[in-house]
Amino acid sequence: MKILVLGSGGREHAMAWRLARSPRVQRVVLAPGNGGTRLDAAFEHLALDPVKDQTALADYAEREGVAMTLVGPEAPLAAGVVDYFRSRGLKIFGPTRAAAQLESSKDFAKQFMKRHAIPTAHFETFTDPAAAHAYVDAKGAPIVIKADGLAAGKGVVVATTLPEAHAAIDTMLLDNKFGDAGARVVIEAFLEGEEASFIVMCDGEHAFALATSQDHKRVFDGDKGPNTGGMGAYSPAPVVTPEVHARVMREIIRPVLAGMKAEGMPYTGFLYAGLMINAAGEPRVVEFNCRMGDPETQPIFLRMKGDFSVLLEHAIAGRLDAAERLAEQLWDHRPAVGVVLAAQHYPETPRTGDPISGLPPDAEDAVVFHAGTRLEGGQLLTSGGRVLCATALGANLRDAQQRAYRLVDQIQFEGKQARRDIGWRAVK
């Protein structure tokens, strides 16, 4: 079969890489893909944009008999690509535009969780700066200020002091730094605990849990500096014990599926619950994403041993309950670590256009997934903030970490920045 993957990041590279290993998959086509996917003869490419060129993409899928389409990033989902493909009778895995509001509007997600008693931080939504400032004064710090819409993981300020909180409100509501995404802010209570990414595949009715993971959102070692899209990740996340796992399924994932169905927006696609797990093992939702995480996908998919195309088929057919029997055999028990190599001045103003050298050859247990790279005259150049994700399996987490950093150290480009401590919580 032929599978179309929409997107150009490290997440899409990792999913496409895994799919290409399935004996049932003859062709993986990426639209548009990146420099690294273009270096790999296993992939075909379409120079089409998943948000703007949906008609041409659906024409291609129809004409070429694409068996199914997998959507990587949130923007085409929020733009209704799933609704459109379905309207043309094409098989696609992802949430509809309405269901994708769980990510595209933080206010929608918070109100939804309130309606369905799903555990999350207490919050209020504001459009009026004066009311927002007064609320923050009344609540005190620490407190969390979030732009309502999509802001690529950068629209959140965890304010440890009141002046920081006030400044964040002004940036979002007055300076219009995030455009429409910041026209409303959600202000919520600060949650204590350890974060984990809990990602499931959904078919509208059933959920199938993927391996757990933990992301490192801050740009500098020791979880310092501004939030980014993610500087590295590892899988599994030890904080998600079997007990916590069962609670997450019972208290969060199943109520989301039941609630979305009851509200007429059955949830299909990946559902990513960003969790804060406190010392008592109580999981609370920090955010939902309606897609796989990036860079979580890279270590998770390196660990996947089973055939992802089979899972996708079950999901699109509404039969994820039948996939449960695959769960036992699905994962390599070895942990994986993925370290992001970012451009200089990421996340603010990443430098681009630099040649990349020293890329080590891929192996089944160690792969450098590409994100912000492009090919120009056979030369690989940096083209975005997060450039590569060096990902490796290891006998234990420390071993996986060392193997990933061996890859990181071989790769060169001007201004390369990488955290040196990905996985530190789990190693400790």
Q: Is 215 in the site for ligand GLY (CB under 6 A)?
A: yes
From 291-299, 321-329, 341-349, 403-411, span contacting ligand GLY (CB under 6 A): 291-299
From 22-30, 84-92, 293-301, 324-332, span contacting ligand GLY (CB under 6 A): 293-301
Q: How far is the CB of 289 from ligand AMP (least distance, A)?
A: 8
Q: Is 289 in the site for ligand GLY (CB under 6 A)?
A: yes
Q: Residue 38 or 146: which CB sits closer to ligand AMP? A: 146
Structure tokens at 150: 């999509």
Structure tokens at 351: 């430098």
From 286-294, 328-336, 386-394, 414-422, span contacting ligand GLY (CB under 6 A): 286-294
From 201-209, 290-298, 372-380, 400-408, span contacting ligand GLY (CB under 6 A): 290-298
CA proximity to 153, closest of 174, 178, 170, 132: 178
List 80, 129, 142, 153, residue binding ligand GLY (CB under 6 A) = 153
Q: How far is the CB of 286 from ligand AMP (least distance, A)?
A: 5
CA distance 5 to 302: 17
Structure tokens at 204: 């509208």
Residue with tokens 């990443």: 350
Beta pairing partners, 381: 355, 374
Q: Residue 108 or 190: which CB sits closer to ligand AMP? A: 190
Report helix, strand and coil shares of the chain as percent, to nearest 5: 35, 30, 40
Q: How far is the CB of 340 from ligand GLY (least distance, A)?
A: 10
286 binds, among ligand GLY, ligand AMP, none (CB under 5 to 8 A by kind): ligand AMP
Looking only at Cα atoms, what is the longest distance across the chain? 60
Q: Is 230 in the site for ligand GLY (CB under 6 A)?
A: yes
Neighbouring residues of 140: CB distance < 8 A, sequence distance ≥ 6: 162
Contact residues for ligand AMP, defined by CB under 6 A: 121, 144, 146, 153, 156, 158, 188, 190-191, 195, 217, 227, 274, 286-287
Structure tokens at 52: 């703007």
Q: How far is the CB of 229 from ligand GLY (least distance, A)?
A: 6
Q: What are phi and psi of 42, to 5 degrees?
A: -70, -20
Q: Is 296 in the site for ligand GLY (CB under 6 A)?
A: yes
Q: How far is the CB of 209 from ligand GLY (least distance, A)?
A: 17
Q: Is 354 in the site for ligand GLY (CB under 6 A)?
A: no
Full DSSP string of 227-276 = E-S-SEEEES-TTS-HHHHHHHIIIIIHHHHHHHHHTT---EEEEEEEEE
Judge contact between 328 and 405, C-beta under 8 A. Answer: no
CA distance 56 to 47: 10
CA distance 387 to 381: 9
83 binds, among ligand AMP, ligand GLY, none (CB under 5 to 8 A by kind): none
Q: How far is the CB of 335 from ligand GLY (least distance, A)?
A: 17
Q: What are phi and psi of 43, to 5 degrees?
A: -110, 150
230 binds, among ligand AMP, ligand GLY, none (CB under 5 to 8 A by kind): ligand GLY
Q: Is 10 in the site for ligand GLY (CB under 6 A)?
A: no
Q: Residue 129 or 153: which CB sits closer to ligand GLY? A: 153
Strands (E) across 246-372 are located at: 268-277, 283-289, 336-342, 366-370
Give the residue at shortest CB distance from ligand GLY. 230
What SS3 state is found at 354? coil
List 204, 293, 384, 394, residue binding ligand GLY (CB under 6 A) = 293
294 binds, among ligand AMP, ligand GLY, none (CB under 5 to 8 A by kind): ligand GLY
Structure tokens at 72: 């990587």
Q: Cα–Cα distances in Å, from 376 out to 36, 39, 355, 379?
A: 12, 11, 10, 5
Contacting residues toward ligand GLY, per CB under 6 A:
153, 215, 229-230, 289, 293-294, 296
